[in-house]
Amino acid sequence: MFALKAPAKINWFLEILGKRGDGYHEIVSLMQCVALYDSLTLEHAEEIEVLTDTNIPLDVNLVYRAAMLLKEKTLTSSGARITLKKEIPLAAGLGGGSSDAASTLIGLNSLWDLNLTQKELGVIGQGLGSDVPFFFHGPVAIVEGRGDVISPAKLGSSCTLVLAKPPISVSSGWAYGQTDIMGQNVLTKNDNFIKIFCRALEEGDFSLLAGMQKNSLEAPVVKRYPIIGEIKRGLEEKGAVFSSMSGSGPTVFGVFNSEGEAVKAAEYLSSQWCRVVRTITNDQII
């Protein structure tokens, strides 16, 4: 039996650079894992079984799809019983399903003695979702292309966040479809921008980060779902140095100077799903 923890992620920034010929969008993003986890246990079984506390249909359950895809790619006759306990909310912009898929591939690689490399697992994971490859290279990385070009980054400084998710779901496809990159000032194409951003994050220079932070998806999503903007303002009124939507939303994260301030802000937003978490650094074991 293998037990794994699948972490959530946030996007410190997310810039859409254009539309690709394959229908996906070209992006650049700095992603980091946070200490909010789904739990998976994997054990031998005759067939692929997924036991979970959610009502996700098997045909769209990324844990089941990951197991079946790995079985197909490796031509193994093995099965597995996978038990998934969710703590990361569904359709939240926190990468929960993608993290679960990556952890499933990692766990089954060990359970079935497949001896695939991280790179090989990442290629398989890419077929399951654009965020999946990141979780083979976390906890911090620059993500480019359609999400498949990963450059691990190093951060030794952790910070306190409040995650808040309103009771709505945002379609990633819809959100990306709303973006219009014409006329944008794409600062994140510049490697120097990324270096400055990472250094400011390492040094805790949140005032600088507040001016640099951007999520290309945020404006159209907030326009359709004003509650996301309300949560952002609420976090900042309660002491967040800055706040941003993660991924395609609807979860918002606020950055706080202290855990005490974060806890008070979370209490203020208790009508929403809310958690106080810390970012995961390179010297921490996920």
Q: Which of the residues are catalytic?
A: 9, 131
Strands (E), 103-258: 140-145, 149-152, 160-165, 242-245, 252-256
Residue 230, helix vs strand vs coil? helix
- In which element (H, E) is residue 126 found? helix 118-126
Distance CA 92, CA 98 (A): 12
- Reduced DSSP (H G I as helix, E B as strand, rest coil) percent helix, strand, coil of the chain, to 5: 35, 30, 35
Distance CA 244, CA 246 (A): 6
Six-digit token pair at 249? 């939303």
Q: Confirm if 20 and 146 have CB atoms less than 8 A apart.
A: yes
Distance CA 79, CA 142 (A): 35
